[in-house]
Amino acid sequence: MTVTTVPFGPQHPILPEPVHVKLELEEEKVVGVSFEVGYAHRGMEKALETDYMKGIYLSERICGICSNIHTTTYVNAIEKIIGIEAHKRAKYIRTIMAELERLHSHLLWLGHAGEAVGFENLFMRLWDVREIVMDTLEFISGNRVQYAMNTIGGVRRDITPKKEKMVEDHMDKLEEKMIEIKRDMLTDYLLKKRTAGVGVLKKEDAERLGTVGPNARASGVPWDLRMTRYEAYEYINFHPIVLEGGDNLSRVVIRVEESFQAIDIIRQCLNQMTPGRTWYRYRHEVSGEAVARTEPPRGELFYYIKGNGTNILERVKIRTPTFMNLMVLPTILMGLQFADVPITILSIDPCFSCTDR
Amino acid sequence: MKNDILVTDTQGLISRLRELASKGGRLSAITGVDLGERLEVIYSVDVAYTLHNVRIEIEPGVEHISVNDIFNNAWMPENELSEMFNVKIHGIKGQLLLTDEDMGKAPLLKSTRIEVLKGGF
């Protein structure tokens, strides 16, 4: 049978960011997959060989979705090297920010997934409720995308009692709307038909390929770095949500469930927070090396930082979640019908600004 | 760093990585660090949420081994290491993020000045 090569991307209506996937098709069936990245490479690791305070701002600009967790991981690594720990209240605020970021990332992706399967109404409703999260982030930090919250030793802005009340109210409102959306979404014929049993990633493949985040957990791998209890996760009662299906539908459902879990974690933080300091001034040379790892919306984020005894960093290595998750593409795309390719590529929630750095 | 494992040759590297893989280890990252005359490569492997860092120093110009048969997710990190530091890795093409015209410039080596890279920063 004739094999036809079809280029998918780097620009494609379904892709928010650029990647090139080379598909080999026999009629409509995918029989070969390879991909190319690098379209958004900006040399961030080289650029981060600079003053470690400037690194906070630079690392925040690696990704437009999970910008906050990049700085959290960066400052965690610097704090480990210089041997300081953030104040307890600052840890709670960092955790609230991380979970708000997870919420807006998951809602953004769920909207995209709705659009990819032709469920436009779902896309509009999800992006509408996502505005509640964006408003919350803006109210806390003054910004919708890059929040500039983290600094070495704590956070730059406190969540005042008035803001705490507002976050609580917003979470109530969000939860109410999400319950309705979840009901409509998970009982929808179209969504099920387009995603159930499609793009299956088996547990053994997820483990073998080092898959991280919701993609791994949707395939039955109970791996969530928040269980290492960094920041205020030490005080929070939660367990990773794990599903067994491994298909596109499981990757949708897990992000819905994790959105509810994020709301619960934010509430726990607000209930447990006590008044206190949120940061202290710190200025010192950085000598030594450390690794910090966190769990952003897409999975494990890894920072290795080495200082040389001055304020200039010697080396910063960043390994982002999509860098690992991309390697499952050939496995989940092989044997699919061409029409299922867009939603399946999208189902791993790829971020190429992060991957390419 | 905590849980550092220093190895001096590729044989030692392979046996330590195999040992970690047999305990259910998952390759988290491969980090290259330019030490001047040599390149340090750190293999960070997660075993039940504990990170083990297997470190080896390699000579420039000498072909390094690939660990893709131990950890199937090593090929992207190895491609990145290869192109960013101009290291030859057995069976690895060494092309991932850079454009064709920037290939071979090894941007993460200390000797590479950022001005030589296309567009600068």
- Measured between beta carbons, the chain A residues lying within 8 angstroms of B51 are 291, 293
> Is A19:A282 a contact under the CB 8 Å cutoff?
no
Ranges of residues in chain A whose predicted pLDDT is under 70: none
CATH code, residues A39-325: 1.10.645.10
- Measured between beta carbons, the chain B residues lying within 8 angstroms of A289 are 1
Q: Is residue B120 part of a domain?
A: no
Q: Is residue B85 part of a domain?
A: yes
Q: What is the mean pLDDT of residues B21-44?
A: 93
Q: Is residue B121 part of a domain?
A: no
CATH number at residue B82: 3.30.460.80
pLDDT at B121: 47
> Is A96:A167 a contact under the CB 8 Å cutoff?
yes
pLDDT at A110: 93
Q: Where are the domains of chain A?
A: 39-325
Determine contact: B14 vs chain A, CB below 8 A: no
From the list A47, A304, A323, the residue facing B31 with the nearest CB is A304
Q: Is the peptide bond before A10 cis (omega within 30 degrees of 0)?
A: yes
Nearest-angstrom CA–CA distance, B70 and B99: 29
> Is A238:A261 a contact under the CB 8 Å cutoff?
yes
CA A23 to chain centre: 27
* Mutation to test the B interface, candidates A211, A230, A313, A319, most B Cβ within 10 Å: A319
Determine contact: A131 vs chain B, CB below 8 A: no
- Determine the 3-state secondary structure of A152 from DSSP: coil
Q: What confidence category does residue B117 fall into, taking pLDDT thresholds of 50, 70 and 90?
A: low
More confident residue, B42 or A117: B42
For the whole model, what pTM was predicted? 0.92
Contact B1/A317, CB-based, under 8 Å? no
Nearest-angstrom CA–CA distance, A75 and B105: 30
Which residues, numbered 101 to 120 in chain A, qualify as contacts with chain B under a Cβ-Cβ cut-off of 8 Å? none
Quickly list DSSP for A270-314: HHH--S----------EEEEEEEEE--TTS-EEEEEEEEEESBEE
pLDDT at B17 over 70: yes
> Is A279:A90 a contact under the CB 8 Å cutoff?
yes
Nearest-angstrom CA–CA distance, B27 and B30: 8
Task: Give the chain B residue whose CA is nearest to the CA of A300.
Answer: B28
pLDDT at A286: 86
Contact B97/A356, CB-based, under 8 Å? yes
pLDDT at A17: 84
CA distance to partner chain A, nearest, from residue B40 (Å): 12
CA distance to partner chain B, nearest, from residue A314 (Å): 9
Q: What is the pLDDT of residues B72-98, one digit of tens each?
A: 999 999 999 999 998 999 988 878 888
pLDDT at B64: 92
Q: Is residue B30 part of a domain?
A: yes
CA distance to partner chain A, nearest, from residue B120 (Å): 9
pLDDT at B116: 53
What is the dihedral sign for C-alpha B13, B19, B22, B25?
negative
Place of tokens 């960094």: A230
Mean per-residue pLDDT over chain B, rounded: 87
Q: A237 vs A143, A257, A266, A268, B36, CA distance in Å?
A: 29, 16, 11, 8, 47
Residue range of the domain that includes B78:
4-115
pLDDT at B119: 54
Q: Is residue B89 part of a domain?
A: yes
Quickly list DSSP for chain B: -TTEEE-SSHHHHHHHHHHHHHTT-EEEEEEEEE-SSSEEEEEEEEETTEEEEEEEEE-TTSPBPP-TTT-TT-HHHHHHHHHHHT--BTT----SSS-GGGTT--TTSTT--GGGSTT--
Q: What confidence category does residue B118 fall into, taking pLDDT thresholds of 50, 70 and 90?
A: low
CA nearest to A119, candidates A192, A40, A205: A192
Query: What is the number of domains present in chain B?
Result: 1
Encode burial over A233-271: b for 16+ CB neighbours within 10 A, e otherwise. beebeeebbbbebbbbbbbbbbbbbbbbbbbebbbbbbe
